[in-house]
Amino acid sequence: MKQYLKIDEWNIIEEGFQADNLRMSESIFSLGNGHFGERGNFEEPYSSDSYRASFVAGITFLNKTRVGWWKNGYPLFSTSVPLAADWRSVKLRLIDEELDLATWGVNRFSRKLDMQAGLTHREMEITSPRGHRLYVEVTHIDHIGRSDLCIIEYSVKSMNYTGKVSLLPLINLDVRCKEDTSGEKVWNILRAGIDDDCAYLWTQTRREDAQVCYATTYTVKKNGAACATHPIRVEQEKQVGFSIGVDVKPGDSVRLVKYAAISSSLYCDRNKLMEHALAEVRQAKSIGMEHLKNEQQQAWSRIWDDMDVQIDGDPAAQQGIRYNIFQLRQAYLGDSPRLNIGPKGFTGEKYGGNTYWNSELCCVPFFLTATQQPVAENLLMYRYNQLPKAIENAAKLGICGGAALYPQVTYNGEECHNEWEITFEEIHRNNIIVFALLQHATLTGSDAYIARYGLEIMIAVSRYWSRRVSFSQPKQQYVILGVTGPDEYENNVDNNWYTNYSCVKCLRITLHYIELVAAQYPDDYARIRRTVNLNLREEAERWNDIINRMYLPVDSRLGIFVQNDGFMDKELQSVDAIPPDERPINQHWSWDRILRSCYIKQSDVLLGLYLFYTDFDLDTVRRNFEFYEPMTVHESSLSPHIHAILAARLGKVEKAYRLFLHATRLDLDDYNNETQDGLHITSMPGSWLAIVRGFAGMQVRNDTLQFNPVIPAQWRSYAFKVNFRKRTIRLCVTPEETRATLLKGEPVDILINGQVVSL
Amino acid sequence: MKQYLKIDEWNIIEEGFQADNLRMSESIFSLGNGHFGERGNFEEPYSSDSYRASFVAGITFLNKTRVGWWKNGYPLFSTSVPLAADWRSVKLRLIDEELDLATWGVNRFSRKLDMQAGLTHREMEITSPRGHRLYVEVTHIDHIGRSDLCIIEYSVKSMNYTGKVSLLPLINLDVRCKEDTSGEKVWNILRAGIDDDCAYLWTQTRREDAQVCYATTYTVKKNGAACATHPIRVEQEKQVGFSIGVDVKPGDSVRLVKYAAISSSLYCDRNKLMEHALAEVRQAKSIGMEHLKNEQQQAWSRIWDDMDVQIDGDPAAQQGIRYNIFQLRQAYLGDSPRLNIGPKGFTGEKYGGNTYWNSELCCVPFFLTATQQPVAENLLMYRYNQLPKAIENAAKLGICGGAALYPQVTYNGEECHNEWEITFEEIHRNNIIVFALLQHATLTGSDAYIARYGLEIMIAVSRYWSRRVSFSQPKQQYVILGVTGPDEYENNVDNNWYTNYSCVKCLRITLHYIELVAAQYPDDYARIRRTVNLNLREEAERWNDIINRMYLPVDSRLGIFVQNDGFMDKELQSVDAIPPDERPINQHWSWDRILRSCYIKQSDVLLGLYLFYTDFDLDTVRRNFEFYEPMTVHESSLSPHIHAILAARLGKVEKAYRLFLHATRLDLDDYNNETQDGLHITSMPGSWLAIVRGFAGMQVRNDTLQFNPVIPAQWRSYAFKVNFRKRTIRLCVTPEETRATLLKGEPVDILINGQVVSL
């Protein structure tokens, strides 16, 4: 863990220049607007250890798959979102010196991420190697309302320097990251140059022809007034822009505003791309920095109005939850079913910008509840559109007949991962899509979406299970052999309880919706029957047989579900038995040692108890929680919030609070020693779910919304809004009372602590 | 399977040019002399699909490890034997045409590998695109007695051509193979040029400075007589040699003899390498082709005298067994403990020329018995020398305290493999070294070698097991979790019977030898105690506890050992249920499907029954054989001979014969559709073992050699020699009788079919 950032309810603050933590800070201060984003790098070059990266949503590159030993079924290519051109670059030169914090003296330094204003701000007093002292301020905005626009205000004040200050706003494609091992050329340049007051760079990914055109222009003022400059054009092969020199003496200040447009072929016609980017920056320049900054603040204010959680009495938790909401919204706007959310958003290359089951496990429930139903539906539609590819994918692995296996990792619906134990075996991922659809129905109160889009997915997934299970003669039951469950610290196990149980759930849900859609949405049903060529009688018979005879491993002595066959043969011990300097174990232990240990990467049996809460009584949850939680190392970001929710349900409030903090401040406090690689974007909504489903105990049972709130001892109150069946309800919880307010929609009865409350 | 090669007892013959089978033929016609070797490529270039490769023993390159997803414990670099310069190259030019069988007409074509003469011979009548007809003969020898020398006789007769014929003997380092994906530069060139009548190329592997110097010279005759030539020097960056032009008219013939030396730093001082190589070819040239050819034939005659197996009545089997012995001896001379045997010898890059457990499972028993005790000892010494690295390797995986885990794949003792399920989990490999040491004692009748070298290995391996097992509370027994057994079509299983059983054997053997060495070799014992820091009482107590309480999975209803936990839950069916066009399954099925199927890649439980034959009665062997053999696909070359031996022991002679043919003609008939990648060198002795230990039923029980011969219906007789405790015994088996003859050594009593026979 690292705790060098200041606690503040609305800001993330770094005080003093911390070169050792630079990569982590670069992750933390990342910005984005859903269409593009970049790590919190300095605008100027930094010659020491740093991880400089920018990304454009939906722009992908096909990487050749590299593995040590090939297995049949591995994908030949895998899609990833490549490093884009660096549009934030602003260089600062004093004749023969160029600002580089790795070599210049830093007298004062602070920066903050302002989550209300939606910007980062940096102030520093620095001394050049020749002793020239400057005061520099930088404000950086990725504009939420103007999705192609980034604005950087770069101010320099001379303290003891007389001479020329040059500022260079640049677009630079000469990017190569330490993480980039492919060695392949990613980008072709279609055109690069200067058009009057604008520089532009028009690029294309090789193999795929995804296009991005960047443009930039600027204004310069000296001591607050416009000044004549004679910009020098920068027109290199991979870098374009301007060099603007201004003569200063001590006390003078120069202020550059750089406007950059990042226009991509995902949203704009290829042949209008350059025109569009140039128009964007020229318009922004005519509007001006101050107005754009106001727009940004207003846009964020609307978001906070919808989604903010107020925690009174615990600034660290308050900061954490807001940071998570802020970063998630920066990474994903939800304006297109063509996009999903990469686990690191725009903050790192790890996971390639691809889609994981994180989206359905964590993001869909969040967006469904936290006012953003259309966003959730775009995430679901992404999967619906990829159903044909999921069917191809199952066939590739030998499971045919309209069965679907959704990829573990994908951009365009094709599998991008190449570890057999994940790619071919972590098949429980198939089910979370079905459960996300079910949550849609539960939370919206309508089955129309499932009738229109969901049932086809359900049928294809059920068909997969129907062919993937096998029948054990000794057990006279169905078994699922050779899987990796949610706990990826077990590979190729038999009868993972979560997988087997969720397979049964999935078959049940599918059978239920076949009946429901047939009865209530006959047109949809007729269409689906034609599309999927459903042989209902025979398939239902097989599915019911699997439902009735599925093997579910239990330990009846302990009264628990057994994570997988053989788990009880392990040497079972608590996480406390691991020496602290060997954690996280995935950074210290060899893989075989992890596998044969009892340690659980992330909730597995407990995940099932969380998802299917209406199926289990609290005693069952308690026994399993008390057995599994002590062995769980939470080295997946998807884990702590699940345990936090269960702990809160069990009344273990202090435990729940610690797990919640883990989920909420995972990146800010660097729990797993990996924030430097980027943020855990797709698990960030987990901390919101921990509050709403955990502390507030939100559940839907028998079509009734209910809350069973608890409150951590550290908090005076907490409050949030949820959406439920066309209503918006605000809940405020204090140790003394829970107050629910209907903000929008028809009156409704809900249950609070088992009492009916009419809103 | 492919059966296009002619059956002949002493030759491998291809008649007619088969471009479609070229890669397979290139493997089949490979030559080598233990110090270097090359695939059976044409001497002249071939512009269509071909796999051209040459290798020099002991010359290695450190490849950067590439994997999809890194795991702690993977090696950063892995050693491999890289493609060497092409020293076989001879080009044939007619002014503006150059011979290339991919574009020239081939009127007649035949080639053979003559296993008595130790050479390949090719004859062909060809027509150039301009209609010039030539008759070409090529003889190729890798000289067994002169370990640096390769000789090629290249004769061209004009049938209708008048003009200049140019022959170009070359050394060419411009090699890049389709299999080479690293893209890294392997070779530096130290010096390349011409020295009077010789060309030379002096090279060095980057990162490791292993050096090879090649030299070549030649003689040319026209119509059998010396002729004046004006050789043109070829001195390109990566290619040196000569171009020798001779004017011919129809009926004239030109005969080039190319002498090539391949001298390596493994056997020669670096600073004398060039001198040595030049002297070698000059001396060879002065001796001349005919004499060298005679030497070669005599050298092979001595080898055959020792190692030949005569099978009367079955030319296909006869050809197969000789081919296997021939190729194994080409790949490995056994003259240095620094060398081991790569699974493909010098016939392909697959497996990187590294050492696998094949050496101890298959080669050591062969060499121990088939007259070559010093060779077997060099293979064992190779492991002894690498013991410190094996101890480092175990420590890397978290198992410390003088425990050794020998690598799965290695050249210099460091692990070269990077699949976790193999690298970290296929740990049974550790034991085969102990069992090979035990076989050494059994077959030589002396424990001195174990006292001197073996016991340290045994102790280190036993310490590994002692720390690798874990204790199951529910079972109250020791278990071994998370392993891959010999059957690599199961990964990360618990309690692989073979692994658990062989762990117990290993501990028992070690305890036995600690006692024996202490009693009989006190000096060795004192030295070993100092070296390994043995805490005998405590360690022995732990080992005995493991021996007494090891869990060994059985199915008592069926009376069989269970391959691993969960195996009986699979859908068990015979190999016959697999559609023929889906075999081998590893080329058609996705990995998960293979894993969850019941199909067994190679003998696993049955391997234990083969190795520990004194532990099990025939009924136990029979029940297990009848259960496991039908599910075994034998997609490892190490498998069929084990099953053949067991089948023979069980009196299933026809079954044994079919398995023997599979083992024996694996490459000649391309059973697994992969001969094109190279030959299965290290499993070739399996066919010899199948005859000696299988059909002839050789066993040693209570220090007595015994045979229980059977004979396949197809055979009139078979005969071979074995070495046993300083004696050489010839056995000849016919359907009527078995005749044993003592060829060398003291009189001895042996058992034949349970009857004492005094020799």
Q: Which two tokens stand for residue A169?
A: 């706003």
The minimal CB distance from A72 to the residues B69, B420, B590 is found for B590
d(CA B326, CA B309): 12
Residues of chain A with CATH 2.70.98.40: 12-305
- Specify whether the backbone of A25 is left (phi greater than 0), alpha (psi in -120 to 50) or beta: alpha
A470 CB neighbours in chain B (<8 A) are 569-571, 596
CB contacts of B397 in chain A (<8 Å) are 590, 592-593
Tens of pLDDT along B207-235? 888 999 999 999 999 999 998 888 999 99
Of B481, B590, B596, the CB nearest to A73: B590
Tens-place pLDDT, residues B686-711: 999 999 999 999 999 999 999 999 99
Closest by alpha carbon to B483, among B592, B556, B408? Answer: B408
Residue B214 has which token pair?
A: 């090649």
- pLDDT at A259 exceeding the cut of 70: yes
Gap from A177 CA to chain B (nearest CA, Å): 18
Q: Show residues of chain A in contact with B425, CB under 8 Å.
A: 592
Using CA atoms, how far apart are residues A640 and A623, in angstroms rounded to an integer?
18
Q: Which chain B residues are Cβ-neighbours of A481 within 8 angstroms? A: 566, 569-570, 595-596
- For residue B589, give the nearest of A183, A398, A566 by CB distance: A398
Q: Is the pLDDT of residue A301 over 60?
A: yes
Q: Which of B295, B488, B629, B674 is an active site residue?
A: B488
pLDDT surpasses 90 at B748: yes
Shortest CA gap A578–chain B (Å): 13
Query: Nearest Cβ partner of B69 from A397, A419, A570?
Result: A419
**Average pLDDT score over residue span A104-126:** 98
CA-nearest of A164, A209, A165 to A187 is: A209
3-state secondary structure labels for all residues of A120-147: EEEEEEEECCCCCEEEEEEEEEECCCCC
**Residue B70: its pLDDT value, please?**
87
Token reading at A41:
């790098």
Say whether pLDDT at B602 is over 50. yes
B136 three-class SS: strand
Chain A partners within 8 Å of B586 (Cβ) = 72
Q: Which residues pair with A106 in a beta bridge?
A: A126
pLDDT at B759: 87
Q: What is the mean pLDDT of chain A?
A: 95
pLDDT the model gives residue A185:
81
Minimum-distance CB partner of A571 among B69, B420, B470: B470
The shortest C-alpha distance from B466 to chain A (Å) reads: 15
Could you say which of A397, A398, A492 has the minimum Cβ distance to residue B492? A492
Phi, psi for A232 (deg, rounded to 5): -95, 135
Chain A CB contacts of B479 below 8 Å: 569
Residue A681 near residue A341, CB atoms below 8 Å: yes
**Inter-residue contact B347 to B683 (CB < 8 Å):** no
- How far apart CA B716 and CA B733 sit, in angstroms, is 9
Q: Where in chain A is the domain with CATH 1.50.10.10?
A: 386-569
Best residue in A554, A591, A635 to probe B by mutation, most B CBs within 10 Å?
A591
Using CA atoms, how far residue A58 sits from A77, A372, B147, B196, B450, in Å, is: 17, 21, 61, 65, 65
| B474: nearest CA partner in chain A | A569
Q: Contact, B534 vs B515, CB < 8 A?
A: no
Classify domain A386-569 at the CATH topology level: Glycosyltransferase (1.50.10)
Which residue in A has a C-alpha nearest to residue B568's C-alpha?
Answer: A474
Minimum-distance CB partner of A590 among B68, B424, B570: B424
How do beta strands A699-701 and A704-707 pair?
antiparallel
Is A596 in contact with B479 (Cβ distance < 8 A)? no
Q: Give the per-residue pLDDT at B426.
A: 98
For residues A457 and A433, is the Cβ–Cβ distance under 8 A? yes
Q: How far is CA A687 from the centre of its chain?
A: 13
CB A487, CB A604: distance < 8 Å: yes
Which of A58-62, A185-189, A499-503 tops mean pLDDT? Answer: A499-503
Residues paired with residue A172 on neighbouring β-strands, in sequence order: A86, A239
Read off the pLDDT of residues B617-657 as tens digits, 9 standing for 90 and up: 999 999 999 999 999 999 999 999 999 999 999 999 999 99
pLDDT (tens digit per residue) in A212-234: 999 999 999 999 999 888 899 99
Q: What is d(CA A270, CA A211) in angstroms, rounded to the nearest whole number?
A: 7
Cα B712 to Cα B236, B313, B382, B698: the distances in Å are 58, 10, 38, 16
Nearest to B424 among A67, A571, A592 (CB): A592
Amino acid at B472: S
Compute the nearest-CA separation of B468 from chain A (Å).
9
Using CA atoms, how far apart are residues A673 and A684, in angstroms rounded to an integer?
A: 17
Q: Please indicate whether, in this complex, the C-beta atoms of B569 and A474 are within 8 angstroms of each other.
A: yes
| pLDDT at A179 (0 to 100) | 42
Determine the Cα–Cα distance for residues A528 and B489; give it in Å rounded to an integer: 39
Q: Where are the alpha helices (DSSP H) in A308-411?
A: 315-331, 358, 364-369, 373-385, 387-396
CA distances from B583 to A540, B671, B672 (A): 33, 10, 8
**For residue B569, which residues of chain A lie inside 8 Å, CB to CB?**
470, 472, 474-475, 479, 481, 494
Q: B73–A590: do the CB atoms touch at under 8 Å? A: yes
Please give the Cα distance from B82 to A181 (Å, whole number): 23
Residues A313-363 pLDDT 10s: 999 999 999 999 999 999 998 989 999 999 999 999 998 899 999 999 999
- Contact across the interface for A590 and B398, Cβ inside 8 Å: yes
Mutate to test the interface with B, among A71, A351, A428, A492 (most CBs of B within 10 A): A492
Report whether B569 contacts A553 (CB < 8 A): no
Mark yes or no for CB contact B569/A479 under 8 Å. Answer: yes
Q: What is the pLDDT of residues B316-373, one digit of tens each?
A: 999 999 999 999 999 998 989 999 999 999 999 998 899 999 999 999 999 999 976 7
Q: How long, in residues, is chain A? A: 759
DSSP string of A603-626, one letter each residue: -SHHHHHHHTGGGS-HHHHHHHHH
C-alpha span between A344 and A362 (Å, rounded): 14
* Residue A121 one-letter amino acid: H
Count other C-beta atoms under 10 Å from residue A300's C-beta: 20
- CB contact set of A677 (below 8 Å; sequence gap of 6+): A23, A27, A51, A344, A348, A350
Distance CA B466, CA A426 (A): 33
DSSP 3-state assignment of A468?
A: helix
- pLDDT class for A63, splitting at 50, 70, 90? confident
Rounded Cα–Cα distance for residues B312 and B320 (Å)? 13
Name every chain B residue with its beta carbon within 8 A of the beta carbon of A493.
492
Chain A nearest-CA distance from B398, in A, is 7
Searching chain B, which residue's CA lies closest to the CA of residue A482? B596
Query: Nearest residue of B to residue A396 by CA position?
Result: B590
Interchain proximity B68–A482, CB inside 8 Å: no
Residue A579 has pLDDT above 80, yes or no: yes
CA dist list (Å): A96 to A160, A245, B173:
16, 13, 48
Tens-place pLDDT, residues B556-570: 999 999 999 999 999
Task: Report the gap between the CA of A65 and the closest CA in chain B (Å).
Answer: 8
Residues 6+ apart with CB under 8 A from A129: A97, A103, A104
Judging contacts by C-beta atoms under 8 Å, the chain B residues touching residue A566 are: 481, 494, 565-566
Of B397, B565, B596, Cβ closest to residue A470? B596
Contacts A–B by Cβ distance under 8 A: 135
User: Measuring CA to CA, which residue among A372, A301, A311, A321 is closest to residue A732?
Assistant: A311
Domain with CATH 1.50.10.10 in chain B: 386-569+582-595
Catalytic residues of A: 488
What's chain B's length in residues?
759
B411 three-state secondary structure: coil
| Neighboring chain A residues of B475 at a CB cutoff of 8 Å | 569
Q: Name the closest residue on chain A to residue B181, using Cα atoms.
A: A66
Distances (CA, A) of A463 to A61, A532, B595: 32, 11, 21
Contact B479 A569 (CB under 8 A): yes
What is the residue-averaged pLDDT of chain B? 95
- Calculate mean pLDDT across residues B168-184: 73
Closest-CA distance of chain B to residue A11, Å: 36
Q: What are A633-651's pLDDT values in tens digits?
A: 999 999 999 999 999 999 9
Q: Output the pTM of the full model.
A: 0.93
B interface test, pick of A419, A468, A596, A673 with most B CB neighbours within 10 Å: A596
- How many Å lie between the alpha carbon of A396 and the closest alpha carbon of chain B? 8
φ, ψ (nearest 5 deg) of residue A446: -130, 140
Structure tokens at B374: 């010093």
Question: ipTM for the complex?
Answer: 0.91
Whole-Å CA distances, B196 to B199, B200, B213, B217, B377: 8, 10, 17, 9, 44
Alpha-carbon span A347 to B377, nearest angstrom: 58
How far off is chain A from B629, nearest CA to CA, in Å? 20
Q: Pick the closest to residue A36 from A98, A71, A88 (CA basis).
A: A88
CATH hierarchy code of domain B11-305: 2.70.98.40
As a whole number of angstroms, the distance between CA B158 and CA B254 comes to 9
The CATH code for residues A12-305 is 2.70.98.40
The answer to whether B381 and B72 have CB atoms below 8 angstroms apart is no
pLDDT-derived band at B73 (thresholds 50, 70, 90) equals confident
Task: Find the distance separating the first CA and the last CA of chain B, reported in whole Å.
Answer: 44
Class at the top of the CATH hierarchy for domain B386-569+582-595: mainly alpha
Question: Do residues B353 and B179 touch, judged by C-beta distance below 8 A?
Answer: no
CB atoms within 10 A of CB B277: 26
Give B-chain residues touching A183 at CB under 8 angstroms: 183
pLDDT bucket at B181, cuts 50 / 70 / 90: low
And the tokens for A206?
């090789």
B591/A424 CB distance under 8 A: yes
Quote the CA–CA distance of A269 and A267 in Å, as a whole number.
7
Cβ within 8 Å, pair A591-B67: no
Percent of chain A whose pLDDT exceeds 70: 99
Residue B178's pLDDT is what?
A: 45
CB B461 within 8 A of CB B511: no
Return residue ranges of chain B for CATH 2.70.98.40: 11-305
